[in-house]
Amino acid sequence: MKFKYKLIKALHICGIGVFEPVVHLVTGEEPAKQIPRIGKFIVVPIVGVVAFMFAWHFAAAGLKTSYGDFPGPSQVWAAVGDLREEARVDAEKRVAFAEKKAKNLEKMQAAADKAAAAGDDEKAERWMSKAESEAGRRYSGSPTYWDQIITSLKTVFTGFLLASAIAIPLGVICGLSPIFNGMLLPYIQVFKPVSPLAWLPIVFILVNTAYATMEPAPLADKTDETAVAAYEEALEFKSGFEGWIPPAFVSSAITVALCSLWPTLTNTALGVASIEKDHINVARVLKLGTFERIFKIIIPSSLPLMFAGLRISLGVGWMVLVAADMLSQNPGLGKFVWDMFQNGSSQTMSMIMVAVFTIGFIGLLLDRIMIVLQKLVSFDTAVAA
Amino acid sequence: MNITLKNILAPWAATFAVCLTTFVVGCGGPAPATTETEEPAGSSAEAEAVASWLDEGETELLDVEKTDLVFGFIKLTDCAPIVIAKEKGFFDDEGLSVTVEAQANWKVLLDRVISGELDGAHMLSGQPIAATIGFGTEAHIITPYSLDYNGNGITVDPEVWRKMQANDPKLDTPTPPHPITADALKPVVEEYKQAEGKAFPMGMVFPVSTHNYEIRYWLAAAGINPGFYTDTDKAGFTDADVQLSVTPPPQMPATLEQGTIKGYCVGEPWNQNAVVRDIGVSVCTNYEIWKNNPEKVFGITKKWADEHPQTLLAVVKALIKAGKWLDEKNPDGSFKNREEAVKYLAMPNYVGADEEVIANSMTGTFLFQKSDRQPMPDFNVFYAYNASYPFYSDCVWFLTQMRRWGQIGETKSAEWYDEIAKKVYKPELYKEAANLLVAEGFISADEIPDTDGYKPPTTDFIDGNKYDGRDPIGYINSFEIGNKD
């Protein structure tokens, strides 16, 4: 029995409380009451989904576009199969590449040994240096659909963390100081509704400028060996850094951050400003210092609202990401959609539909995760929608 | 409507499929390779090629400065040499790992090459030239390799085509005689100007693209003014009968369909795409405007070339092999490898259009309209007629057109044209790479042209005008419509 209530609580925390009647039913508790509840909250949505699928199927069959027929559920399913096939072929290529590389390395090593045995050290060294560059060579396939999903997730979380790092401290200050809040408010009001499409070109230019400043100044004197070495090292660092964190990724992530920091900022400010007077009074009585007051009283009691803001922020960030990826050519889901559109083939629409569903489901998943976190920090048991 | 079990189950399957996509694709992705009979594209053949030269130990891999490269391209069939060099393993043979990445448009592509995010790219011939002389974004871009000849077409709205047919009874058949000049279009343009009070809208892909110069050439040859660029008018609309606006190639058919433009000049597969979808009629190819005209080039920054000389040599070697592979012919004169090439190009991460659409032009025919398929074996030339060699005279032709239409604002001396050509086009790099390939036995010495970089004068134009790259000023002055020096 105890386990049963734990399970029900866990279901609620995970945002799948609709399964509660099932638990009751399985344990034989008031079956007459549970069945209508199951019907209402589980069967009805499933019937709805199936009905929609049929409606989609028949509506799509009659819709002809110049790109071909509008894809129905079965065409979209076929596109999923194609994407899986693509991933399989890519995995095979990856293995073939590794095998070939190992074989090449072996041969290069053999050639180096042969040259060394013949006393041609210079040739042996040349072979060794080639073997070294072969060893460092990476597989260079096009990103698979899975890779693109991963890139999108990485980008959105980078942007989201960046936004939170800015929005939470600012929000706390705004909540504590009505004067500061009054100064910042006009900016918040003006920037909140700005679309990512407006920010992106500016971010793009700034990020590219930042990367360009990493470029070492051209050498005037190429005879100075230490200077040449330093120059080459700087160049190598720049290209290594670009490979590690590509500018397109940074542009996308910053755009996501710019669009998603507002809900966190306003909610945090509200949460801090609406702390119960009693709590503040307790802090006074205890003579807590400023930092202790912020970390022990203010932040904990504003957490529920702060997390509500973070949840909206992540949702906004995920929505903005697709547009940002499209424009900055960051190889995520947005670029996938754009590339498929550019292909203009008979598969274009079904591939885009796959992306639409993927984006939707991941968005849903992210939202559920945030609900769980939000509930974990909330003292009250209010159910988030 | 026949309802089968499959039809009923499919929607269900799709629901769960999409739920599971992420997981399934994930699991299916990095899974170890199974022993399927299907070969991953071009792995065994290329492995053998590497094996043979490594075993002989006579030729050595170049000592490349950088092994992992990223090249950009726009979704057009003429990026083929880059795609083939990758898919057939020619880059691998040189010890290079190349990622080939589609770009949104020509501006983004150029910016990313300049910023160093891309090591090199499939570029419009005009792009390195314009960047080097500072029209648009300024940067010193060079080209050691010309990707192809020809490959563009002009397509008009079916409504416009019907009006052209009404103006010229010769065109009013399912298979009109080619080449079709813009003479029949002239009354349509004038009528539109009178009725709407503005210039006739058409599309091209970029201000310094070959398409811009070709459609201008075609229009001007029939006495239609396509507009001039001036110091204050950077869009090129001054005095225009036809207003040419910029649209990225893959969006051309959609823009035509929406009626924003009445016709356009673009590379393949975007003419064939419109024809197949019944939203356009192709009237003229650029092969007819100028036989074997230079089209795309492989562009890199001068700085990148200076920092990676051996890598560049290796890249050019791989591209030459790819170009040769693309143009190889069977004894009966048909292309040996084009069908395989079409398969690679149709992959969604490359051009991605439907195979039959790409095949229309790549395999030696061109579909002007559904009733009119013409043989055009030289529509896409990658290697024959020295198409991959960067001729100075090709560069000078683009410069003359930039001057003709006002993108170059002032009079320049004939020496200046030669000087710029030598600054941008680098046949010496091509020769160096080609000589290595001769030594390795991949090509024969007579495949490298013996030239000072200027082709002999030619009159292979739609209007029969004579072009001599050594006399740019005389050529500029020979046009009726255009700036004069």
What per-residue confidence (pLDDT) applies to B48?
Answer: 41
More confident position, B267 or A9: B267
What per-residue confidence (pLDDT) applies to B59?
Answer: 54
The pairing of strands B372-375 and B365-369 is antiparallel
What per-residue confidence (pLDDT) applies to B11?
Answer: 47
How far apart are the C-alpha atoms of B355 and B346, rounded to whole Å? 5
Residues 269-288 of B with CB under 8 A from A: 270, 273, 277-279
Q: 0.90 cut: is pTM over it?
A: no
What per-residue confidence (pLDDT) applies to B37?
Answer: 38
What per-residue confidence (pLDDT) applies to B243?
Answer: 94
What per-residue confidence (pLDDT) applies to B24?
Answer: 39
pLDDT digits (tens, 9 = 90+) for B80-123: 999 999 999 899 888 899 999 999 889 889 998 998 889 999 99
Among candidate residues B434, B427, B270, the one with its CA nearest the CA of residue B351? B270
Question: What is the mean predicted confidence (pLDDT) over A176-182?
Answer: 90
**Residue A2 confidence (pLDDT) above 80:** no
Residue A361 has which token pair?
């489901």
How far apart are the C-alpha atoms of A210 and B115, rounded to whole Å? 11
| Radius of gyration of chain A, Cα coordinates, nearest whole angstrom | 29
- Reported as a pLDDT band with limits 50, 70 and 90, residue B45 is very low
**Residue B33 confidence (pLDDT) above 50:** no
pLDDT digits (tens, 9 = 90+) for B271-329: 999 999 899 999 999 999 999 999 999 999 999 999 999 999 999 999 999 999 999 99
How far apart are the C-alpha atoms of A202 and B479, rounded to whole Å? 43
Neighboring chain B residues of A235 at a CB cutoff of 8 Å:
307
Q: How far is A385 from chain B (nearest CA, A)?
A: 21
Helices B392-404 and B210-221: crossing angle in degrees, nearest 10, is 60
**Residue B27 confidence (pLDDT) above 50:** no
Q: A73-87, A149-163, A275-289: which has the minimum mean pLDDT?
A: A275-289
- Reported as a pLDDT band with limits 50, 70 and 90, residue B52 is very low
Q: A287-291, A359-363, B31-35, B133-137: which has the minimum mean pLDDT?
A: B31-35
How far apart are the C-alpha atoms of B186 and B194, rounded to whole Å? 13
Q: Contact, A151 vs A332, CB < 8 A?
A: yes
What per-residue confidence (pLDDT) applies to B28?
Answer: 38
pLDDT digits (tens, 9 = 90+) for A58-70: 888 888 777 778 8
Inform me whether the C-beta atom of residue A329 falls under 8 Å from chain B C-beta atoms. yes
What per-residue confidence (pLDDT) applies to B19?
Answer: 44
Most confident of A29-33, A337-341, A372-376, B463-467: B463-467
Question: What is the mean predicted confidence (pLDDT) over B150-168?
Answer: 94
ipTM value for the complex: 0.76
CA angle A8, A13, A16 (to 5 degrees): 70
* Interface size between A and B, measured as CB pairs under 8 A: 221
Q: Contact, B220 vs B481, CB < 8 A?
A: yes
**Residue B26 confidence (pLDDT) above 80:** no
Residues 79-108 of A with CB under 8 A from B: 80, 83-84, 86-97, 100, 103-104, 107-108
Cβ separation B352–A54 shorter than 8 A: no
What per-residue confidence (pLDDT) applies to A280?
Answer: 82
- CA separation, residue A349 to residues A71, A291, A331, A341, B54 (Å): 7, 55, 19, 8, 46
What per-residue confidence (pLDDT) applies to A9?
Answer: 82
What per-residue confidence (pLDDT) applies to B118?
Answer: 92
Q: A209-223, A329-343, B359-373: which has the minimum mean pLDDT?
A: A209-223
Residue A118 has which token pair?
């013949």
More confident position, B16 or B339: B339
Region of B404 (left: φ > 0; alpha: ψ -120 to 50; beta: rest) is alpha
What per-residue confidence (pLDDT) applies to A382?
Answer: 46
End-to-end distance of chain B based on CA atoms, in angstroms? 70
- Reported as a pLDDT band with limits 50, 70 and 90, residue B57 is very low
More confident position, A297 or B327: B327
Question: What is the mean predicted confidence (pLDDT) over A16-23?
Answer: 81
**Residue A214 confidence (pLDDT) above 70:** yes
How far apart are the C-alpha atoms of B359 and B337, rounded to whole Å? 12
Q: A350-354, B124-128, B133-137, B139-143: which has the minimum mean pLDDT?
A: B133-137
Place of tokens 């800015």: A166
Inform me whether the C-beta atom of residue B104 falls under 8 Å from chain A C-beta atoms. yes
- Reported as a pLDDT band with limits 50, 70 and 90, residue A1 is low
What per-residue confidence (pLDDT) applies to B20?
Answer: 43
- Reported as a pLDDT band with limits 50, 70 and 90, residue B218 is very high
- Reported as a pLDDT band with limits 50, 70 and 90, residue B36 is very low
Cβ separation A57–B7 shorter than 8 A: yes
Residue A170 has which token pair?
């600012």
Neighboring chain B residues of A339 at a CB cutoff of 8 Å:
75, 102, 348-349, 352
More confident position, B149 or A377: B149
Q: A225-229, A248-252, A309-313, B56-60: which has the minimum mean pLDDT?
A: B56-60
pLDDT digits (tens, 9 = 90+) for A93-144: 889 889 888 888 888 888 888 888 888 888 888 888 888 888 888 888 888 8
More confident position, A237 or A172: A172
What per-residue confidence (pLDDT) applies to A196?
Answer: 78
Residues 291-350 of B with CB under 8 A from A: 307, 346, 348-349
More confident position, A196 or B350: B350
Question: What is the mean predicted confidence (pLDDT) over A225-232?
Answer: 81
What per-residue confidence (pLDDT) applies to A379?
Answer: 61
- Reported as a pLDDT band with limits 50, 70 and 90, residue A47 is very high
What per-residue confidence (pLDDT) applies to A289?
Answer: 83
Sign of CA dihedral B327, B331, B337, B338: positive
Question: What is the mean predicted confidence (pLDDT) over B199-216?
Answer: 94
What per-residue confidence (pLDDT) applies to B340?
Answer: 95
Cβ separation A133–B112 shorter than 8 A: no
How far apart are the C-alpha atoms of B140 and B105, rounded to whole Å? 20
Inform me whether the C-beta atom of residue A2 falls under 8 Å from chain B C-beta atoms. no
Most confident of A128-132, A159-163, B440-444: A159-163
**Residue A220 confidence (pLDDT) above 60:** yes
**Residue B345 confidence (pLDDT) above 50:** yes
